[in-house]
Amino acid sequence: MRAYAYVVGPENGPGTALLDLARGLGFAGVSPFSTMAQAELQTQATPICFFLFAATDRLESLRGIAEAVRFSTTRRLRFSPLIYFAESPSVEAITGCINMGFDDVITMPFTRKRVLERITRQVGQNLVYYETPRYFGPDRRGRPGIEQGNGRSRGSGQFRRLEIVRSLVNGINVVRDDHFAPEPV
């Protein structure tokens, strides 16, 4: 697979297990995440970089890296798949990941076949992303099990709706980029 995988997490426990799992998935390369500069350089060598986040008790500790990726000025980095590997399917963890712009949350069991199927979904199909001043990530509206309008608005006013396709050959292709602004009152 012409994609690279960065594993974000501790260098022991869940981080080590995820690193071992990722090495068996056919990525062009796998390494622990180090810096955004390193990731930007990697996007020049491989069309897509996946960020695989190991389970943590402190989900909020992932926000810095997730936001650095999502709000990067480098298109290949900004649209990189962010995938969280949860040890348990808690509503708090899933909601937290969604609000940080993650593309997917995979819960146990982490079998090679199951994880590969979920990773494959991130490539070769149209995906819709939304951008507001406080959020950049996949369209989550209307997903089963996701509460809508629970007082945690991602903002109102101007927003962008982007339709992309990730390609293992060409990288990130923006198929559509629509800007929306509220009507003047």
Say yes or no to pLDDT of 183 above 90.
Answer: no
How confident is the model at residue 10, as a pLDDT?
86
| pLDDT tens digits for range 14-34 | 999 999 999 999 999 999 999
Amino acid making up residue 168: L
For residues 138 and 40, what is the distance between their CA atoms, to the nearest angstrom? 21
Confidence at residue 89, expressed as pLDDT on a 0 to 100 scale: 84
Percent of the chain at pLDDT > 70 equals 91
- Over the stretch 101-151, which tens digit does the pLDDT of each residue have? 999 999 999 999 999 999 999 999 999 999 998 899 999 776 544 444 433
